[in-house]
Structure formats: structure tokens, C-alpha cells
Chain A
Amino acid sequence: MINRTEQPVIKDAVDFEYHLKPYEKFVLDNGVTVYAINAGAEEVLQVEWLFFAGNSQEEQNLVAATTNHLLKNGTRQKTAFEINECFEFYGASLSRHCYNETANIVLHCLNKHLQHLLPVVQELVTEAVFPEEELALYKQNNKQRLQVSLKKSEFVAGRLIDEYLYGIDHPYGKYSSFETYDALQQKQLQDFYQHYYRNGKCIIFIAGKIPPAAIGLLNQYFGQLPFATDTLVKTHPAKSAVAKKYRITNDAEGVQGSIRMARPFPNRHHPDFIKCMVLNNVFGGFFGSRLMSNIREDKGYTYGIYSYLQNHLQQSAWVVSTEAGKDVCEATIAEVYKEMEDLREEIVDEEELLLVKNYMLGTILGDLDGPFHIIGRWKNVVLNNLPENYFYTTIDTIKNITAEELQVLAQQYLRPEDFYELVVV
């Protein structure tokens, strides 16, 4: 008979070796840096053009996001339809995203089609025109979408908590409104584009089973363009709200409340950042966390509750987020504080700490098998301007952190008086 009551022998994840495949670096004729991860078995590629064109750079709300979104809605030669067709004909997808400091264009395609697609991307970053009628349609449809989103408590709560943390004028705290959509002008987009895309600083990340010709093609299409070799990312001071507690009614008939609790936190350069990632996992970072075990698995107040450190370059925040039954929102908040108190007062036992370490490291190990994940880790290092050995520092910190250190960190950072507290019903 086998013994079903005892776990088979495991190798602790803290005893594994971790290796992050190094990137290859190329410099195009005009000085643009290309970071490349050549890995994977499928004949697929991901190419990302990253510009310092995030909303920190804009003079008026939504200009950065709108410019980014409408990059593929018309060039001097092609209509939006024709541009979409170029990519879609080859089964490729071209997405774009605008963040706080940066904005990007991301191409996913089969290797064999790369040569047909790069010239079109080149056209987008050199000859986009932002047609009036495309902007008008964008405004109309986004205002409609906003109307729907504003009915959702989680959407409203997400906006408000960032406003409390950073202030409504800060890139991390500001948000869209009907008026800000109305105020958008074609000329603003064109100017922003000239400055931050056409003549902006560009970094390229390429990952997948990279064909030998790929870097040459990148140089051909992007190595001759007038990109800037350097750029200044504007920084903005945060203006956190004074009042800490908020209860908002968004929909009188709502059956759940969106709870957000958050405190300001330093960025990744702070020596406590990685250590607090471990503490965060104990607290609310994964399914086996204290918050989830107590508030979902024991009390059944919610479908899910998580805590996390925001991934911002300049400064961060430590956030607890959940949707809970309307009548148990206050009880949920009380339980969150109780879990903070536990972490401050009681030392985490060795078994729980080992579980969290193994879980975190196992997840990292699982994340290392694909080229897209690997380039993602390197991008994080490049953008945050972190040391090249950051990955290994992270692994070492997770492996070696002690329960005593976690308690000290909890006493320093998990104090109720530092947290904003918001419920939107």
C-alpha cells in the first residue's frame, strides 16, 4: 500500500539553480539599441518598439494615450483599414499600449512574415497623420465606453485610489473624463508624435526564434531614422490626499463594494523592495496568502482578495484590492487590518515562510521557459535602470530572507494609519 497521507519527497525551490538567459545587444546605425532573446521552438516573434512617450510627457491629459492609440489609424499613404489589413493579412497582430513613462508598439508574427511587416511599422513611426475623422470617432466611442465603465464600482475605485495616492495632476493619479476627451485636438497629437515618436528615443526588444536576417532588417528599416539618442523623462511631485478614509456610493442598487486600501511605497531601487515582495506574498500576494485564506477561504466574504506593489518607475504603492459583499465590506477591512497586526506582532513560522519562498521561486522558474517571459524580465531591468544582476539579487533575497526581517518590515510598512481606505458601492 502506498502512503497517501504523506507528501512525496520534494526538492525545495530554494535549492534550485536559476539562470536567466542573457540578452544579446545590438546597436543600429542611428544608435538605437536592440535587446534580443533568441529562444523557443515555435517559429514566432515578438518585436516591441518602446518610446518614452507615456503620459508623464504630455501637457494635457489623454494626449499621450490618444497619440499611441491612433498611431495605426492613418499614414500619408494608407488608411486605417489598409494598415490593419497589412498586418491581419499575414495573421500578425499589432498592439500598442501607453504607460506612465513609456508607450510602445508590439508586433506578434510568424517569422516568415517579418520582412513584409517591418516596412509597415516603419511607416507608422515616421508618417502617421492622425486624421480628424479618426480622432472624432475615437472620442465618441471612448466617451461611450467611459459611460459604461463608470457604472462599475471596481473601475471607479481604481481611479480614486490612485488619485488619493498621487494627486489628480500626477501621471499616476490622473484619469479620463468626458471633458478631457472633448478637449483633444489633432494638432496636439501630431506635435506629440513628432517630438516623442518620430524624433523621440526608441528602444527595440525582440524575442522568439529569431531568424538570422532579423537584426539586419531592423537596421534597414529603423537604423536610419532620426530618433533621438537620449531623452528626458519628466518627473512630477506627488500630492497625496490628506483625508484617509472614503466611502462612496456609485450605484445605490449595487450588491458589492469595491475595496481598495493603499499606502505610498518607494520604487524598485529601495533596498526593501524585493524583501517587501516576499512579505507581500505572505500577506496577500497569491492564493495561499493570509488575506485569501482568511477572507475568502474561511469567511467567504469575496471571490478573491489580493495585495500587490504597483509597478511604477518613479514611486510605487502597496495596495489591497477586493470586491466584497456590500454588507461585509467593513468586516473585510477590519480583517485586513487584523492580518497586518498579526504580521507586526507575530513572527511568521518557518513552514509558512518556506512555502512562500518555494512558491515564489517555483513561479519564477516556470516563467523562465519562454522567450517572451525572458525578454519581459530584461525589459524591467532596462526600464527601471536596475543593475544587470538584479534577477540574481532577487533570487538571493527570496532564498535568504528571514522571518525576523519580515516582522521588522511589517512593523515599518503595514501600519493602518499609513493606508488610504476606500469602499465604492
Chain B
Amino acid sequence: MIQYERFILSNGLRVLVHEDTATPMAVVNVMYDVGARDESPDKTGFAHLFEHLMFGGSINIESYDDPLQLAGGENNAYTTNDLTNYYCQLPAENLETAFWLESDRMLSLAFNEKSLDVQRKVVCEEFKEHYINKPYGDLWFKMREMAYTQHPYRWLTIGKELSHIENATLDDVKNFFFKHYRPVNAILVVAGNVKTEQVRKLAEKWFGDIPMGERYNRNIPAEPVQTMARIQEVKANVPLDALVKCWHMDDRLSEGYYAAELITEVLSGGGSSRLFQTLVKEQKLFSSIECYHFGTTDKGLMTIEGKLVKGVDIKAADAAVEAELDKLKQELITEKELQKVINKTEAALAFEDISVMNRANSLAFYELLGDANLMNEEFEKYQALTKEKIQQYAGQIFTASNSNTLYYLSEN
């Protein structure tokens, strides 16, 4: 049970405080309600590029990193399709430095041409490092474009193509900032060796006078229900054939999400899971295979991704995967399997909560979903699932008309 206090500043900034006196450190986590799904299709990659610019100096402070490091702190940030998160950790005595830095960059960035110019290049190198200069690097560009026809999950956070990043202008940057990076669209979590009253005072002092901004109302196209199986074949300069299959699943707050999570555990949660045991160990069709989903806020993708053993026909491998899914649809999982995935979830949640930084991050995430206390209700939701429910959701997800299949073949 994670304890926290919550209050809202008059400019709409939501503040959560989680006290933990066992650590000498404090964590300051600022989450903004904007991700790659909020980009327009001709300016993709922007939310992530923007994350880089947040370190290029703010209106009153030339460098974000130097003063933080001087205070013994370190920081990082990440962008997903749904949100952007900034977090730092520093000795609790120096907490105010984090308030000073985070509030100034919420007040306004410096909007400096040089920083934009450099970060465009840095992000282009990041793009190359992760998506071009790697075997299978473009796989998810293709897969997402097949699975989503309307919803902006169609593109990755890095962006659809290099040119979108290369063409970003300072005006784009300014508009994006004043639309999304306002107190009313942000959540501040302060955790660690801090006191709620102290945080309240500091929050009022540093964030209180930042103009509220306009509440951002998300209006993005829902993905139409898929009605026909989609299949694509590509050839690339890779050593091994890969099979990837995706099915649409429920959104983050639905019961179906929790069921999907347990299904991924049954299918691929370790060496005793079904896909590994049957398809890697017994039938020797795949050298590796995984089942996972993306944990997205809107309806996401249940995924099975595997590399084939050299010489195996991809259609045979695909059929073997389908046979495993049929089993899940036709027969109940065993009591032992259910207990196993519940135990695993319980342990995973306990290990996650060891780090103060994780706790702060989770509080912000659940607050963004609608209620920080959801964090404390997660395990009950898994426990409430039954074998029958899992079978029912497997039947709902794994249908042919809901499937997207990519044969990513070696051209050699």
C-alpha cells in the first residue's frame, strides 16, 4: 500500500507527495499529458524531440543539468505514445533546486535556435542508431502502419521519418510548448525524504504563479474495429526470418487489459510458459519467441514476435502459433497456471516498489490515468480474474479478423 497526499494548486497543477524517510534522497517527477499520439501525422516525432529541447535551457536558467549535478542530482526523461515524463533524484536537503529547475522550464523554455539545431541532429542519430543501423530496425514502422489505420499509434515516438524531425521549426516548438506544457496539463510528484507541508510551500512558491494554460482536450480518431485479417510480407537484409503478429486489445482501464497481461504471462512469462516450451523446446520452430503488449492508454496491441529456426517454413511456424492460441481459446488454463501468473504479478509489483523513483513514477502515471490510488488497486484487479475470464478474453482478442501478420523474411 503506497501512501500519498494530494493537492491541487490554483493554476490546476496536481501535486502528489509520497513520504519515505528510509532514504536520504528526494525524487521530483513531472509528467506532462502529451505523447506521440498528440502529434499531427505530418509532424511526427515531435513530442520526443521536444523532450530533448527541455534540457536546452529555460527562460531564466541557462543550463538544466549543471545546477542539478552541482546539487548532487541526476535526471532523465522519456516519451511514450501517451505521455512525457521528467524525473530527477537528488539529496533531500537540496530539494529546492529541483523545484527551481522544473518550475522554470514549465514557466517557459529559452527557445534557442542553437539548441534546436543540435537536438535535431542528436535525435536523427538516435533514429539511425535504433531504427536504421540495426537488423529488423524498421519492423515496427511497418507493423504499426498495418495494425493502425486511423489512430496515431500508427507511428513510433521517434517519428515516422527523419524529415519530420529535420523540418521542425522554432515556431512549432513554441506552439507545442504553450499548448501542452502548462500546469493544468501536468502532474508533479515529490517522493522520498520530504514532508508534505514542505512540498506544499515549495510548490506554491515555485509553481504557483505559472499561468494555468488551457486544459488540453484530446480529440484523436479512434481506431475502427478491424474486420478482416491483414497480412504482409517483406524481404530484408537480415539473417533470419521473423514472424510478428498483432491483435487489438482493450484500453488501459478495462478489465480486458488485465486479462491480456495475464495471457502474455501464460504464453511467454518464462521458461515454463507455453510458447517457449512448445515452439522453441518441443517443436523447435523458433529460436526465440515472446508475447507482450505495449501497455498503452488507448486500445493497444497484443503481440507475438519470434525468430524462426533456419529452414523452417514461415507458414508452418505461423500455423503452430495459431494452434497454441486455439488451445487457449478452447480450453481453460490450469489452476496451477493461474496461480503461477498471479504469484508472478504479486512479486513483480513488490520488486517494482523497491525504488522510490519507481513509486513516484507510478503515482504520476495512475494520476494521469485518472486516480493515483489505482496504483494500490492493481493487484486486486489481477486477483479478480478467473480462468473463464481469461479464456473469454483470449477468444475475443485472438480472432483472424482482428489479426495483423508480418512475415519479415531474410532475402539471403
Contacts and interface: CB of A to CB of B under 8 A. Distances in A.
Interface of A: 2, 4-5, 7-13, 16, 40-44, 72, 80-85, 87-93, 108-110, 113, 137, 140-141, 144-145, 147-148, 151-153, 251, 253-256, 286-288, 296-303, 323-325, 354-356, 358-359, 361-363, 365-366, 368-370, 372
B25 A89 contact: no
Interface residues of B, number: 80
Contact of B72 (A44, A93, A297, A365): A365
Interface stretch (B41-49, B140-148, B353-361, B388-396): B353-361
A91 B347 contact: yes
Contact of A303 (B117, B122, B132): B122
Contacts of A13: 71-72, 91
Contact of A323 (B72, B96, B133, B336): B133
B133 A256 contact: yes
B284 A91 contact: no
A109 B25 CA distance: 26
Given A4-B107, A89-B272, 16 more contacts: A13-B71, A80-B271, A81-B277, A84-B272, A88-B340, A91-B348, A93-B270, A93-B347, A108-B347, A144-B287, A144-B307, A301-B121, A303-B125, A325-B125, A362-B91, A369-B22
Interface of B: 22-25, 59-61, 65-67, 69-74, 89-91, 93-94, 96-97, 99-100, 103-104, 107, 117-126, 128-129, 132-136, 205-206, 237-240, 269-273, 277, 280-281, 284, 287-288, 307, 309-310, 336, 339-340, 343-348, 350-351, 353-356
Contacts of A300: 117-122, 125
B46 to A, nearest CB: 18
Select the residue from B119, B120, B125, B343 with max chain A CB neighbours within 10 A. B125
30 contacts: A4-B100, A7-B70, A8-B99, A10-B71, A11-B93, A42-B351, A44-B351, A85-B272, A91-B340, A91-B344, A93-B270, A141-B287, A148-B136, A148-B307, A256-B125, A256-B132, A286-B69, A286-B74, A299-B118, A302-B125, A303-B122, A323-B133, A356-B69, A358-B71, A359-B69, A362-B69, A363-B72, A366-B25, A366-B91, A369-B356
B121 A89 contact: no
A151 B239 contact: yes
A368 B356 CA distance: 12
Given A109-B347, A255-B128, A297-B118, A89 B336 contact: yes
B100 A7 contact: yes
Contact of B287 (A140, A296, A297, A356): A140
B281 to A, nearest CB: 7
A254 B237 CA distance: 12
Contacts of B70: 7, 10, 354-355, 358-359
Given A109-B347, A148-B240, A5 B71 contact: no
A361 B181 CA distance: 32
A365 B24 CA distance: 7
B74 A366 contact: yes
A250 to B, nearest CB: 10
A85 B346 CA distance: 16
A287 B73 CA distance: 12
A306 B86 CA distance: 22
A225 B277 CA distance: 32
B128 A256 contact: yes
A2 B205 contact: yes
User: Chain A interface mostly helix, strand, loop or mixed?
Assistant: mixed
Contact of B104 (A4, A109, A363, A370): A4
A288 B272 contact: no
Nearest to A14: B72
Contact of B122 (A10, A296, A370): A296
Given A7-B67, A151-B238, A362-B72, A16 B91 contact: yes
Contacts of B280: 137, 141
B97 A8 contact: yes
Contacts of B71: 7, 10, 13, 358, 362
B128 A325 contact: yes
Nearest to B202: A8
Nearest to B63: A288
A85 to B, nearest CB: 4
A298 B345 CA distance: 44
Contact of B346 (A88, A91, A153): A91
Contact of A10 (B97, B103, B128, B205): B97
A148 B125 contact: no
A370 B355 contact: yes
B309 A140 contact: yes
A389 to B, nearest CB: 21
B362 to A, nearest CB: 14
Contacts of A108: 347, 351
A335 B277 CA distance: 51
A131 B141 CA distance: 41
Contacts of A324: 125
Contacts of B353: 42
A279 to B, nearest CB: 16
Contacts of A83: 271
A92 B271 CA distance: 12
Contacts of B347: 44, 90-93, 108-110
B281 A80 contact: yes
A254 B133 contact: yes
Given A7-B70, A10-B70, A91-B344, A151 B135 contact: yes
Contact of A366 (B89, B100, B123): B89
Select the residue from A4, A11, A43, A140 with max chain B CB neighbours within 10 A. A4
Nearest to B117: A300
Contacts of B340: 85, 88-89, 91
Given A16-B91, A42-B353, A144-B310, A256 B129 contact: yes
Contacts of B356: 369
Contacts of B132: 255-256
Nearest to B273: A88
Contacts of A301: 121, 125
A88 B270 contact: yes
Contact of A44 (B123, B129, B350): B350
Given A152-B134, A355-B69, A359-B69, A2 B206 contact: yes
A109 to B, nearest CB: 7
B350 A42 contact: yes
Given A88-B272, A89-B339, A358-B72, A302 B239 contact: no
Nearest to B126: A303
B64 to A, nearest CB: 10
Nearest to B115: A297
A109 B346 CA distance: 10
Contacts of A43: 350
A91 B97 contact: no
A2 to B, nearest CB: 6
A151 B134 CA distance: 7
Contacts of A4: 59-61, 100, 103-104, 107
A85 B119 CA distance: 47
Nearest to B348: A91
Nearest to A368: B24
B74 A302 contact: no
A370 B352 CA distance: 12
